[in-house]
């Protein structure tokens, strides 16, 4: 900074103002200092500025699994909002391993980030994380609601998603609908099942079959469940399947095609997420699109607002809506 000041013919304090309080200097002085920085290839140290000012221009984002395109969308939305507010995002991948989030949040705290976001879907895990996280550090929960006034949250109305999926299948004339879910610990799964059962009950129907054994919601889990469902489809006991993730739906589709069953002729199929698996399959999947980019954008907005005005900030619980996307797997 001293070299920049000397090259520009200004004081060290003026260089500091250009970096931190540009409104305090004239435009001509600012341009002269910026030109000196360019000539000297000067870049301010983010770490030094954090130590000096007590606040970083970075926010942290811990994602459940970067292999899921939903979370890639969350990262994109958060990054765009942060950049619009003159900040940037540090990413960490939980790699679908429960417990890694706490370690990564501690790393972000050590780096003095302005605040952090974390994607979650397990209610027990949420309680553990909130109990162990420092309350003086801004934290926004994504993909799950915050149960109290300790933090902000942004989630999707998954019960609405379950209702939309089921109502769509009923509108296609399907009456023997199976549900393919996962662990009851996963709040989004429970909410989607609640919506599914509610719409069936309103139609005077019950589920043709419910499979909720898988701990994960991946393609291999869907493939194993598809093996259980294929006989029911062939016997006419199931004419539609609602899977709570596109990856699971893709696994089911693979089995049905191996068994010589037609989708959607013999059985209609609906997934959830609208990620790459929904359209990178032989029969594109009808699905519920989650607003991942908007989730990330809202999360970044909330964490930056709290970091900049901690005393004035009031926690918000934002709920976004999924959107039905109709494709060939239900005759779309």
Q: Yes or no: is domain 158-290+325-330 CATH 3.40.50.11890?
A: no
Is 158-290+325-330 in the same CATH topology as 54-157+292-320? yes
Task: For residues 278 and 212, give the distance between their C-alpha atoms in angstroms, rounded to a whole number.
Answer: 21
Q: Where do the structural domains in the chain lie, given as residue ranges? A: 2-44, 54-157+292-320, 158-290+325-330
- Render 287-310 in DSSP notation, one character per residue: EEE--HHHHHHHHHHHHHHHHH-T
Task: For residues 293 and 70, give the distance between their C-alpha atoms in angstroms, rounded to a whole number.
Answer: 8
Task: Give the helix ranges, DSSP H, for 157-245.
Answer: 158-171, 187-202, 219-234
Task: List pLDDT tens digits, range 158-216.
Answer: 999 999 999 999 999 999 999 998 777 788 889 999 999 999 999 999 999 998 866 66
Q: Tokens 């899921």 sit at which residue?
A: 68
195 CB-near residues (< 8 Å, 6+ apart) = 158, 159, 160, 161, 162, 163, 164, 165, 166
What distance, in Å, lies between the first and last C-alpha atoms of the chain?
Answer: 62
Task: List pLDDT tens digits, range 103-126.
Answer: 888 888 888 899 999 988 777 777
Structural fold of domain 54-157+292-320: Rossmann fold (3.40.50)
Task: List pLDDT tens digits, range 256-281.
Answer: 999 999 999 999 999 999 988 888 89
Question: Closest Cα partner for 109 from 135, 83, 127, 148?
Answer: 135
Give CA angle at 311 (310, 314), nearest 5°. Answer: 75
Neighbour-count burial for 10-47, b at 16+ CB within 10 Å, e otherwise: beeebbbbbbeeeeebeeebbebbbebbeeeebeeeee
Q: Rounded to two decimals, what is the model's pTM? A: 0.78
Question: Closest Cα partner for 158 from 326, 293, 277, 322?
Answer: 322
């Amino acid at each position: 900074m001293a070299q920049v000041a000397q090259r520009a013919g200004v004081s060290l304090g003026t260089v500091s103002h250009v970096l931190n309080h540009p409104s305090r200097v004239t435009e001509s002085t600012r341009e002269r200092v910026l030109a000196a920085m360019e000539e000297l290839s000067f870049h301010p140290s983010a770490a030094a500025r954090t130590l000096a000012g007590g606040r970083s221009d970075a926010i942290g984002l811990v994602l459940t699994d970067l292999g899921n395109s939903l979370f890639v969308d969350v990262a994109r939305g958060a990054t765009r909002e942060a950049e619009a507010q003159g900040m940037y995002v540090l990413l960490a991948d939980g790699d679908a391993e429960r417990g890694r989030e706490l370690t990564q949040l501690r790393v972000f705290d050590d780096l003095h980030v302005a605040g952090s976001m974390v994607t979650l879907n397990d209610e027990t895990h949420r309680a553990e994380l909130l109990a162990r996280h420092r309350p003086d550090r801004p934290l926004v929960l994504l993909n799950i609601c915050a149960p109290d006034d300790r933090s902000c949250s942004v989630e999707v109305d998954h019960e609405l998603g379950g209702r939309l999926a089921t109502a769509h299948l009923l509108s296609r004339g399907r009456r023997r609908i199976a549900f393919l879910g996962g662990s009851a610990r996963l709040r989004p799964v429970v909410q989607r099942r609640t919506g599914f059962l509610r719409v069936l009950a309103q139609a005077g129907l019950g589920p043709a079959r419910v499979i909720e054994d898988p701990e994960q919601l991946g393609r291999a889990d869907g493939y194993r469940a598809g093996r259980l469902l294929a006989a029911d489809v062939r016997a006419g006991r199931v004419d539609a399947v609602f899977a709570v993730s596109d990856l699971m739906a893709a696994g089911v589709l693979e089995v049905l095609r191996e068994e010589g069953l037609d989708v959607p002729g013999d059985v209609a199929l609906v997934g959830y997420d609208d990620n790459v698996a929904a359209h990178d399959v032989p029969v594109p999947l009808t699905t519920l699109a989650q607003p991942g980019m908007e989730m990330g954008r809202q999360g970044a907005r909330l964490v930056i607002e709290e970091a900049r005005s901690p005393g004035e900030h009031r926690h918000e619980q934002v709920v976004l809506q999924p959107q039905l996307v109709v494709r060939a797997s239900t005759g779309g």
